[in-house]
């Protein structure tokens, strides 16, 4: 009889005359030379963390058609590896407003409290708890870009000196073309800093 080639507890290789495993200290029992103990199966690798949203930017509008008359509303969702565009139908936005007012009412808020609650109803915060696959499946018009497809993200403010108003845009430049989204109001400096922290030098 000779010692088994591997420890039956931890799978470490054993010397021919070893009485104890040099790794885990288990006592070694003799086994037939032609029937070596099998090495322990390796532990499974830990599962990769699920990709989840890191930030959401509501109020994005994509214009198309004659003079930009056709307008589509989106919430832009940022993850570590993708930028997703979640279409917002008028029905969805009305539902969000009604839900916000109902929740305020249940909390005992009066008319003004319910009225004020609706202003944050379409903030897009519900997307922060949804994985990208769920967001993309929510509406037929939803789509996304992988970060490695993007050449540049550019935030711009254009000020009209005559009326003192500003317009804001966020451009996404890809190999397939340029996508521009418009905002009534946008903290250019704050969002540029946040997006640069996420994606680095492609943000301008």
Q: What is the pLDDT of residues 151-201, one digit of tens each?
A: 999 999 988 877 778 999 999 999 889 999 999 999 999 999 999 999 999
pLDDT of residue 1: 47
* Residue 171, token pair as written in the block: 């451009």
pLDDT of residue 71: 94
Report the distance separating Cα 45 and Cα 143, nearest Å: 32
pTM: 0.72
Supply φ then ψ for residue 45, to 5 degrees: -65, 145
pLDDT of residue 25: 65
pLDDT of residue 72: 96
Question: What end-to-end distance do the CA atoms of the chain give, in Å?
Answer: 73
Distances (CA, A) of 105 to 96, 98, 123, 124, 153: 14, 10, 19, 21, 41
pLDDT < 50 positions in the chain: 1, 31-35
Give the DSSP letter of residue 115.
Answer: H
Report the distance separating Cα 74 and Cα 144, nearest Å: 12
pLDDT of residue 56: 98
């Amino acid at each position: 009889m000779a010692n088994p080639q591997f420890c039956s507890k931890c799978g470490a290789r054993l010397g021919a005359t070893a009485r104890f495993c040099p790794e885990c200290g288990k006592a070694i029992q003799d086994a037939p030379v032609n029937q070596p103990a099998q090495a322990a199966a390796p532990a499974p690798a830990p599962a990769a963390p699920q990709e989840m949203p890191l930030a959401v930017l509501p109020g994005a509008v994509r214009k198309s058609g004659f003079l930009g008359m056709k307008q589509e509303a989106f919430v832009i969702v940022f993850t570590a590896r993708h930028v997703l565009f979640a279409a917002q139908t008028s029905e969805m936005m009305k539902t969000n407003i009604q839900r916000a007012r109902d929740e305020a009412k249940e909390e005992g808020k009066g008319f003004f409290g319910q009225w004020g609650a609706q202003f944050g109803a379409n903030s897009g915060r519900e997307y922060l708890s949804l994985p990208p696959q769920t967001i993309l499946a929510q509406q037929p018009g939803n789509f996304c870009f992988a970060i490695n497809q993007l050449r540049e993200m550019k935030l711009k403010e254009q000020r009209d000196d005559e009326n003192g108003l500003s317009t804001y845009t966020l451009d996404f430049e890809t190999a397939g073309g340029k996508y521009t989204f418009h905002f009534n109001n946008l903290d250019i400096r704050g969002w540029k800093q946040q997006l640069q922290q996420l994606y680095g030098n492609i943000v301008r």
